[in-house]
Amino acid sequence: MQDAGLDLTAPDLTASERERILAKSALFDPPGIALPDGRRDLVGLSREELAAEMAVIGEKPFRAKQLWHWIYHQGATEFSRMNSIAKPLQVKLAERFVIQRPEIATQQTSTDDTRKFLFRFRDGQEAETVYIPDRVEDRGAVCISSQVGCTLSCRFCHTGTQKLARNLGAAEIVGQFMAARDSYGEWPSPKGDTPRLLSTIVLMGMGEPLYNYANVAKAMRIVMDGEGIALSRRRITLSTSGVVPMMDRAGDELGVNLAVSLHAVRDDLRDELVPLNRKYPIKELLAACRRYPAASNARRITFEYVMLKGINDTEADARELVRLIAGMPAKVNLIPFNPWPGSAYETSTKPAIDKFARIVMDAGFASPVRDPRGQDILAACGQLRTESRREPRL
């Protein structure tokens, strides 16, 4: 864009890089959808796949539409509840299929009403999901995991110390949201502008969603489908550490809101904090943000910036930050660092955070400081799965 010498549009290069990322990601795919008894889970299938399952058992395509409604609009988990389907077919379906939720290994509710779930999947792998209710209104965000562990190793992030075990499948990603909805009894899916308690999804749990793009995209398409859960793309935010080649695709295909974990304004520091920066440096990352198709003044890009004492929190850092993002429809989310046992950093002081926020705000960008929630149950980002791993397994 502004820089000669750096061809930011090089389509062939980007396309081949994208193929490489998708192929690598497929190596970490979850186990198949069949249970040991041979029944298949219908959750997480696309509409086309659901229709194909119906075709295999000799049923017409409209059955897939009916099932879709029962599974994603009504939240049914039993075929026997589906009173628009005749009994014999209910029985036939139950012999061959299941509608599953991930098992809740533990569930804790904070004194501030934040609720954390540890879900256990069929192969025993676990991931966390957090529901963060608004303090005032009856709405809230569900923070969803996309992988068990992470291939990246951001220095301040606890997930980064856990090797990637595997990607979560579409069923496991959408299943986190559905199980959280079960917990609040929010079925059937509220229609249109009807308020929702679980009103937004943030892909900010464990893992890098753009290194599991196929499953994340499939899950988000299910969640956004107007005849099911029907959550608007405007209510979904995908957070990435900066997988540049996949950002365009996510914007084009899903049109969800984008959050970018920036955390540093110079490449030398970002190389250290977010090692992926060595591959996709700040300049390329910001160029990808500038061309992100789903961004506008109404739907700004969120830059996440973890406040690390004495590392990235000076006034000069703040001024450089606003220079870098000048002209973008953006806001800056300042996240007080959340320490974990063995972490090498400290949280910035309150005056340092306030000063930083003021500079960003004076430059015309909203700069909310993330309100620490669920601290008594360790529900914060980067802390997920830490404590529960220490509990003895039953």
Q: Does 207 bind ligand SF4 (CB under 6 A)?
A: yes
What whole-number distance in Å separates Cα of residue 76 and Cα of residue 188? 9
Residue 338 partner contact from ligand SAH, ligand SF4, none using kind-dependent CB cut-offs of 5 to 8 Å? ligand SAH
User: How far are the Cα atoms of 81, 181, 192 from residue 330, in angstroms, in the given order?
Assistant: 46, 30, 27
Q: Does 367 bind ligand SAH (CB under 6 A)?
A: no
What whole-number distance in Å separates Cα of residue 337 and Cα of residue 317? 16
Q: Does 199 bind ligand SAH (CB under 6 A)?
A: no
* Residue from 241, 277, 302, 312 binding ligand SF4 (CB under 6 A): 241
Q: Does 157 bind ligand SF4 (CB under 6 A)?
A: yes
User: How far are the Cα atoms of 7, 139, 154, 177 from residue 286, in angstroms, in the given order?
Assistant: 14, 32, 19, 31
Residues in binding contact with ligand SAH, number by CB under 6 A? 16
Dihedral, 165, 170, 172, 174 alpha carbons, nearest 10: 140
Q: Does 28 bind ligand SAH (CB under 6 A)?
A: no
From 75, 65, 83, 42, select the one nearest 190 (Cα to Cα). 75
Q: Which of 59, 128, 208, 304 is catalytic?
A: 128
The reply to whether 48 belongs to the active site is no
Q: Which token pair is 83?
A: 């009173």
* Residue from 30, 44, 228, 382 binding ligand SAH (CB under 6 A): 382
* Residue from 156, 213, 303, 356 binding ligand SAH (CB under 6 A): 156
| Angle 172-190-297 from CA coordinates, rounded to 5° | 85
User: How far are the Cα atoms of 227, 250, 252, 357 from residue 370, in angstroms, in the given order?
Assistant: 34, 25, 29, 11
Contacting range for ligand SAH; rule: CB under 6 A; set: 38-46, 153-161, 284-292, 356-364: 153-161
What whole-number distance in Å separates Cα of residue 212 and Cα of residue 203? 12
* Residue from 33, 67, 154, 165 binding ligand SF4 (CB under 6 A): 154
**Using CB atoms, what's the residue nearest to ligand SAH?**
382
The reply to whether 381 belongs to the active site is yes
What whole-number distance in Å separates Cα of residue 236 and Cα of residue 218? 14
Q: Which is nearer to ligand SF4, 261 or 302 (CB)?
A: 261
Residue found under tokens 């890098």: 208
**Using CB atoms, what's the residue nearest to ligand SF4?**
160
Query: Which strand (E) or helix (H) includes residue 71?
Result: none
* Residue from 53, 126, 208, 313 binding ligand SAH (CB under 6 A): 208
Shortest separation between residue 296's beta carbon and ligand SF4, angstroms: 25
The β-bridge partners of 162 are none
Task: Please say whether the dihedral angle defined by the alpha carbons of residues 245, 311, 206 and 69, taken in this order, is positive or negative.
Answer: negative
What is the identity of the amino acid at 54?
M
Q: Which is nearer to ligand SF4, 102 or 160 (CB)?
A: 160
Residues in 212-271 at the binding interface with ligand SAH, rule: CB under 6 A = 239-241, 261
Contacting range for ligand SAH; rule: CB under 6 A; set: 71-79, 84-92, 107-115, 331-339: 331-339
Residues in 335-354 at the binding interface with ligand SAH, rule: CB under 6 A = 335, 337-338
What is the identity of the amino acid at 201?
I
The contact pattern for ligand SAH, residues 63-92, with x = CB under 6 A and - = no contact, is: ------------------------------
User: How far are the Cα atoms of 140, 198, 251 from residue 195, in angstroms, in the given order?
Assistant: 10, 9, 26
From 162, 134, 288, 146, select the one nearest 212 (Cα to Cα). 146
The residue ranges that bind ligand SAH (CB under 6 A) are: 154, 156-157, 204, 208, 239-241, 261, 304, 306, 335, 337-338, 381-382
Q: Which are the catalytic amino acids?
A: 128, 381
The residue ranges that bind ligand SF4 (CB under 6 A) are: 150, 152-154, 157, 159-160, 207-208, 241, 261
